[in-house]
Amino acid sequence: MEKLLEQIKKGTVWAFPGGVHPPQQKTLSNSARIARLPLPDKLVVPIKQHIGANGKLIVEKGQQVLKGQALTVPVANWSVPVHAPSSGTITDISPVPSAHPSALPELSIIIEPDGKDQWCELTPTPNPSELSHDELVDIIHQAGISGMGGAGFPTYVKADIKQPIEFLIVNAVECEPYITADDVLMREHAKQVVQGIELMQQILNPTLCIVGIEDNKPEAIAAMKSAAEHNANIVIQTVPTVYPSGGEKQLIKLLTNREVPSGGIPADIGILVHNTGTLFAVQQAVYEGKPLIERVVTVTGNTIHNAGNVWALLGTEVKHLLDCQGFSPVPQQRVVMGGPMMGFTLPTVRIGVIKTTNCILAPDHKELAEPGPEKACIRCSACADACPASLLPQQLQWFAKSKEYDKLQEHNLFDCIECGACAYVCPSEIPLVQYYRVAKVEIKEQQAEKIKADRAKERFDARKERLEREQQERQNRHKRKPAAKTPDEKQKVADALARVKSKSSDGDEKSAVAAAIARAKAKKQQGEELEPDNSEVAKERALRKEKARKYKEQKAAEGESSSAPDDKKSAVAAAIARAKAKKAAQAKQSAEPQNDEAIAPADDKKAAVAAAIARAKAKKAAQAEQSAEPKNDEAIAPADDKKAAVAAAIARAKAKKAAQAEQSAEPQNDEAPAPADDKKAAVAAAIARAKAKKATKAAAQTQQSDEASAAEQTCDAEPENSQVSPPADDKKAAVAAAIARAKAKKAAKEAEQSAPSEHSAPEQINEPQTSSGSDSEETSSEQTAAEKKKAAVAAAIARAKAKKLQKEGNDQS
């Protein structure tokens, strides 16, 4: 630190990167003293002339004001008031074009001066050293002082900074071409400027104050050294003439060899910078009590006959300044507010002077030529070499054109001081600074929108949380709070729970029931609505259900194992029985047309009707046989192969018996609808006899085929059964043989009885007939002989089978 101070006091100056050397053109305006202009006809005072919030209006239209009277009061942070530049009447308060490149309208107070230029009451401070820090800051704040050499930062904010300040730097460089306002001010009012520096030293208490002045201002340097020679803490430092050495960060680098971090401010490294005009305004506010209502403005250019510096009241129209200095416009004249490097062309000369206006430039076409059309970048890197902030202007311009704002911020766009050095050296005449300004505005708008969205989301989340909390509170209010329990009640509950646990340890159903009863009693004693505990009862119930399910499964398995026959063999036997029944039905149907043709009646229509009736009855009988077969097969399912064969034979016998009973009943059914007419009766009797004969013949054929197939199955099944499983016992064999003999006898008896019964009814019916009666007797005699023969054969076969079965039973025993 001591080494740095020694270097600074010796006059050491460090260099900053980049920079250019444009023509100075300062001699046009720095040769004459500061002039005082006559009062203008109108003063247009914008209520915002600085960075920060607007002040609040405290005047109204038509009101008389005095010179120095406050027109607004600060109401927010970074807000400073504005004052009346002269006495007069407020004629209007309305938006007018602003002193900005966009010329957007801003609310302004329009004052018509009365010519008296009468001051309001002032409160000067002859001995400022007696004032406290806060009092000095308040005077600066109420005087409406803001930065007069840059962007218009409120001076009271810098004065009231809480960070320790090591170096106070006074920016008296004034590097912009044509501008000489600070130069002339230091020449004529060096003492007042030094007094302003001392006031800031009293407020900030810095280690050292450095006044930086370019070496092209020798008279100002001499005047400042003379005014500050009594103060050892003020150093007047001469710096080389290079643009933009007047930039805040560049001047800090020149005088202290320190660099302000990207995105930071000088206070972050213990440095504070003020402009010469700002310090003069501080001195006027404290020592004289005057607010900031005027400033020095350079009016210059080749179209100005009396170029120089003037005291301009804030709000004075630019036209008034030009007219007072001898303005001779040229065709397509341009008027620039500020210097040729960082200034901007005014859309109209009816715009008023503000606190940051330091120059009005009216050049001719030779001085400041119109820029040509933008050409393609040739990548010469001249812009990067000239940039004092060590940026990449070409890259920034590409990102700005493509609106890649994230990349612009990554490449430190906001470190650009908009000095215009890059555009000045660009051979393609690309307006680089204009691209940067537009991109900065759009990025700031996006950031503002994001902040608004974030705040809206925070408000929404807070509201949602509040509503949920209120809803929860409402629900809790409706819940009944349980009454506080006394120690005796708690002990009773504990005892009851202990008894329940001891009883439930047995694990049986009674313990669960007892536990439930105990809990119910405990609830009744307490008189509260406690939550029931049915866990033990539920466990017992689930156990009982599981036992019942297992029991049912076991019984079902036993039933299936006890009643399940040999599926394959029983299915074969049932299929054989059904096939034989179908064969008998087909035989009946095939024999039916022949009989119908043999006994065709004379009347075709009646014969057809009778044949249809006979066919229907035959089909019905066949269906009855088929429907009866599965039931009989299923009902008499044997356990082994031999029993299955016997059961199949019994089923077939029962089916035959049912068919014979149906056939024997047909003539009786035919008797009911017997016609009254003799001819019809004869025809019906003939039909009935034919049907009986047909049924008897079919039954005999079916019986023979069934007996033969049963005998074959029995013979075939015996060796298999003898090989696969052991034979049945003697008792079962004897029973089976006896059943077979009984069925054979019964079948033979029924066959003998069916022959006369089938023919007796027709004979009685046909007694009155003459010719047809003899034919029927001959036919019935032939049928009886054949049937007897078949019945005898069937009986013999049955007896043979019975003997065979009996013999097999004896052999097995």
How far apart, in whole angstroms, are the C-alpha atoms of residue 534 and residue 36? 103
Which residues, 6 or more positions from 717, have their beta carbon under 8 angstroms from its beta carbon?
641, 642, 644, 645
pLDDT of residue 483: 67
pLDDT of residue 540: 80
pLDDT of residue 610: 61
pLDDT of residue 779 exceeding 80: no
pLDDT of residue 447 exceeding 60: yes
Which residues, 6 or more positions from 469, have their beta carbon under 8 angstroms from its beta carbon?
none
Task: Identify the residue with better confidence: 382 or 704.
Answer: 382
pLDDT of residue 669: 39
pLDDT of residue 519 exceeding 70: yes
pLDDT of residue 676: 40
Look at the block and give the residue holding tokens 């044949």.
Answer: 611
pLDDT of residue 563 exceeding 60: no
pLDDT of residue 668 exceeding 90: no
Which tens digit of pLDDT belongs to each residue from 152-194? Answer: 899 999 999 888 999 999 999 999 999 999 999 999 999 999 9
The torsion defined by the Cα of 786, 789, 795 and 799, in degrees rounded to 10, comes to -150
Q: Are 179 and 339 in contact (CB under 8 A)?
A: yes
CATH hierarchy code of domain 1-28+123-289: 3.40.50.11540
Residue range 424-436: mean pLDDT, rounded: 93
pLDDT of residue 102: 81
Helix, strand, or coil here: 283? helix
Which tens digit of pLDDT belongs to each residue from 231-277? Answer: 999 999 999 999 999 999 999 999 999 999 988 899 999 999 999 99
pLDDT of residue 662: 54
pTM over 0.85: no
Q: Are 254 and 245 in contact (CB under 8 A)?
A: yes
pLDDT of residue 462: 94
pLDDT of residue 319: 95
Q: Are 248 and 269 in contact (CB under 8 A)?
A: no
pLDDT of residue 564: 46
Strands 208-214 and 234-239, by their bridges, are: parallel
pLDDT of residue 732: 60
How far apart, in whole angstroms, are the C-alpha atoms of residue 172 and residue 678? 157
Omega cis (within 30) before 329:
no
pLDDT of residue 44 exceeding 90: yes
Task: Identify the residue with better confidence: 800 or 602.
Answer: 800
> What is the band of 500 on the pLDDT scale with cuts at 50, 70, 90?
confident
Q: Provide the β-strand partners of residue 295.
A: 312
> What is the band of 724 on the pLDDT scale with cuts at 50, 70, 90?
very low
pLDDT of residue 356: 93
Which tens digit of pLDDT belongs to each residue from 184-205? Answer: 999 999 999 999 999 999 999 9
Q: List the alpha helices (DSSP H) in 46-154.
A: 133-142
User: For residue 707, what are its two tokens?
Assistant: 């007996």
Which tens digit of pLDDT belongs to each residue from 291-344? Answer: 999 999 999 999 999 999 999 999 999 999 999 999 999 998 999 999 999 999
pLDDT of residue 628: 47
pLDDT of residue 511: 62
Look at the block and give the residue holding tokens 């970074």.
Answer: 78
> What is the band of 650 on the pLDDT scale with cuts at 50, 70, 90?
confident
Q: What is the mean pLDDT of the chain?
A: 79
pLDDT of residue 65 exceeding 50: yes
pLDDT of residue 369: 81
pLDDT of residue 76: 83
Tell me which H or E stretch contains 68: none
pLDDT of residue 566: 53
Query: How does DSSP classify residue 639?
Result: S
Q: Which of 218, 99, 212, 180 is nearest to 358 (CA)?
A: 180
Residue range 564-579: mean pLDDT, rounded: 64
The single-letter code of the amino acid at 384 is A
φ, ψ of residue 760 to 5 degrees: the values are -70, -45
Burial letters 632-671, b for 16+ CB under 10 A, else e: bbeebbbebbbbbbbbbbbbbbbbbeebbebbbebbeebe
How far apart, in whole angstroms, are the C-alpha atoms of residue 103 and residue 235? 41
User: For residue 397, what are its two tokens?
Assistant: 């311009």
The torsion defined by the Cα of 70, 74, 78 and 83, in degrees rounded to 10, comes to -10
Q: What percent of the chain has pLDDT over 70?
A: 68
pLDDT of residue 755: 44
pLDDT of residue 167: 95
Q: What percent of the chain has pLDDT over 90?
A: 51
pLDDT of residue 683: 62
pLDDT of residue 633: 39
Which tens digit of pLDDT belongs to each residue from 84-137? Answer: 999 999 999 999 998 888 888 999 999 999 999 999 999 999 899 999 999 999
The single-letter code of the amino acid at 676 is A
pLDDT of residue 544: 85
Residue range 769-797: mean pLDDT, rounded: 53
Which tens digit of pLDDT belongs to each residue from 284-297? Answer: 999 999 999 999 99
pLDDT of residue 638: 38
Residue range 29-51: mean pLDDT, rounded: 93
pLDDT of residue 550 exceeding 90: no
Q: Starting at the edge strand that comes first in sequence, how are the strands of the sheet with 271-275 ordered?
A: 234-239, 208-214, 167-171, 271-275
Task: Identify the residue with better confidence: 68 or 669.
Answer: 68
Q: Angle CA(721)–CA(722)–CA(728) in degrees, nearest 5?
A: 80
> What is the band of 806 on the pLDDT scale with cuts at 50, 70, 90?
low
Which tens digit of pLDDT belongs to each residue from 52-61? Answer: 888 999 999 9
Look at the block and give the residue holding tokens 């329009």.
Answer: 110
In total, the chain counts a number of residues equal to 813
How far apart, in whole angstroms, are the C-alpha atoms of residue 194 and residue 186? 9
pLDDT of residue 378 exceeding 80: yes
pLDDT of residue 359 exceeding 90: yes
